[in-house]
Structure 1
Amino acid sequence: MKDNEFVGGKLKLKKDIFKKDDKKGKKQKKDKNNKKESELIEKKKKKSSEKDYVHEDNDQNKNVKELIDGEDKLNDILNMNLTESEKAYHLVLKKREKQRIESILKESYRDRLQKFNDNLASLSEHFDIPKVGPG
């Protein structure tokens, strides 16, 4: 093969696990207590941030909690070790899902049923179920 057919440069790895440390052979011990304390601090921060968003009306509370959950899921996706293209893909999926839900919520059940019936009426008779049996 020719030299110009090969792609130059090194591969980008997704995780930091593969990076080599300067200190070979030495492993750092992780303190379990520090990990537990940091988890408790994060939980307290989440609870306080949720309290800031809470309103008196039940419907608003429900909507706000759903928004907070959606933001948490989005932040989880962004904080994972993903490439830029994977992050963009997840953002587009989230945006499309939100638009789809909004469009469904705009139409009532009766409107959706009427739209479905109109679609069936516009189809040709070729798609009708044939009669079964003799005759």
Structure 2
Amino acid sequence: MSSYDFAGGSLKLKGTSGGIKKKKKSKKDTKKLANAVIASGHDGTKNDVVDEAQTIKEKELHVYRKKTEAELKFEEIQRKRQTDRISKIASQSHKERVADFNKYLENLSEHYDIPKVGPG
């Protein structure tokens, strides 16, 4: 064996059989919640029951949310500002945007102009 030979393949951990398999999400949770709602004496269609089961599930997920109230409020304000910015841009035509940009460029000082200093 030369010093450049190597064993091919992926690395394996000792004591494990095969790789890690990801769990697949199943719809059993919603069905269980729907059955629980039916058992509680709910009158309505099956779709209503499924909707209620999903809202219950969302409320449970709300408990496990990782963001604080301040972070949520910050994100909401950011979304609102972004929608305002987009609506402002969308309301202008291309011609108006070009005119505004030209006005902005006229107001800028030229970088290659030598400022006058002193008398004369």
Bin the TM-score by the shorter chain: 0.3 to 0.5
**Rg comparison, structure with higher value:** 2
More helix by share: 1
Query: Relative contact order, CA 8 A, sep 6+: which one is greater?
Result: 1
- Give the TM-score normalised by the residue count of structure 2: 0.41
